[in-house]
Structure 1
C-alpha cells in the first residue's frame, strides 16, 4: 500500500482528500503546517507528498525546498496543491522543487492520474 503525506492546513480540504485517497487504497498521513510536514517526511518516509503551498509556520514553498535539498528525502515526489492558479504559478512551484502542480479547486480524476504517474 502506497503512503501519501497530505500537508494541508484547511481541515475540511484535508479530511475530504484523505477520505477520497483512502477509498482508492492509499495509506494517508496528514500534517497541518509546513514544519510538521517536513518532520513527517523524515519520520514516515511517504511514497508521495501532496503539499499545499499556503501553509502556516512554514509555507509549502519553503518546505518543498527543504525536502528537495535533503539527500535522504529528495527522491520523494511532491505535488503542489494550490489556489495560486495564476500565470507563472506552476513554473514557480516547479522551480521550488515540486514535481507537479494541481490547482484548487482540485479536479479529482486529474490529481489521481498525477499520483498514479508517480507511484502507480
Structure 2
C-alpha cells in the first residue's frame, strides 16, 4: 500500500518545547509518494486517478474481447451441433428407408 502524504508535510514539521516533533498538515496538495530503490517519486491524486482509470479501461476492454471470443466460439459450436444433428437425422431416415425396403422384400418371400 502506498503511503499518502501531504506534499508540504516536511516543511510543516517543528519541534515543540518538549522535544517532540509536531506535525502540521497543509491539505493544499495531497500526493502519494512511491519509494523506489534509487529515487523518490511523487504522484498527484489526479495522476493516480488517471492511471487507475486507464487500467480499469484496459481491463474492461480485455473482458469485452474475451466475451466476444467466447460468444463466437459458442456460436460456432452451436452451428456444428446443428449440422451434426441434421446429418444424424438424414442418416437415420436413410437407414429406416433401407430397413423398410428389406422388410418388404422379405415379406414377398
TM over 0.5: no
Query: Which has the greater radius of gyration?
Result: 2
With the length of structure 1 as denominator, give the TM-score of the two structures: 0.17
Structure showing greater relative contact order (alpha-carbon pairs closer than 8 Å, 6 or more residues apart): 1
With the length of structure 2 as denominator, give the TM-score of the two structures: 0.18
